[in-house]
Amino acid sequence: MKRFCITLQTIIRALFPLRGGLYAAKGNVVKPAVLFPEGYTQVLPEHVPSYLANLDAAVNQRHELALFFKGCLMPAAPFLLFRLKREGFSRCRIAVLPDGIALDAQR
């Protein structure tokens, strides 16, 4: 049931990201020290709204975005791709893994 709630929250925030306020402030994305899978920044369920509100803050110096949405199920994948394309990312790819969804894209 918890994974369903995480997936639903991810879908909602992919379609309707937060605008303005605390979460959308540039550079306000929480960047955990844990990377999983290798090279991906893990997005915990409580941080989904802030990441999807400001994807640019998670882009590295090579203009690449690599996020892992822990606990998120496959139905959220097309909605995450929609958000990436809407924000102007290219080379968008999603891999559905047993523990969540890994996505990467380039700016």
- Give Cβ neighbours of residue 16 (< 8 Å, ≥ 6 apart): none
Give the residue, 105 or 38, on which the prediction is more confident: 105
**For residue 25, pLDDT beyond 60:** no
CA distance 25 to 22: 6
Angle at which helices 2-15 and 77-86 pack, to 10 degrees?
Answer: 20
Calculate the dihedral angle through the C-alpha atoms of 96, 56, 12, 25, rounding to the nearest 10 degrees: 140
Q: What is the 8-class DSSP label of residue 35?
A: B
The domain limits of the chain are 2-106
| Tens-digit pLDDT profile for residues 33-73 | 444 667 888 888 888 888 888 888 888 889 999 999 988 99
> Which amino acid is residue 26, in one-letter code?
K
pTM to 2 decimals? 0.78
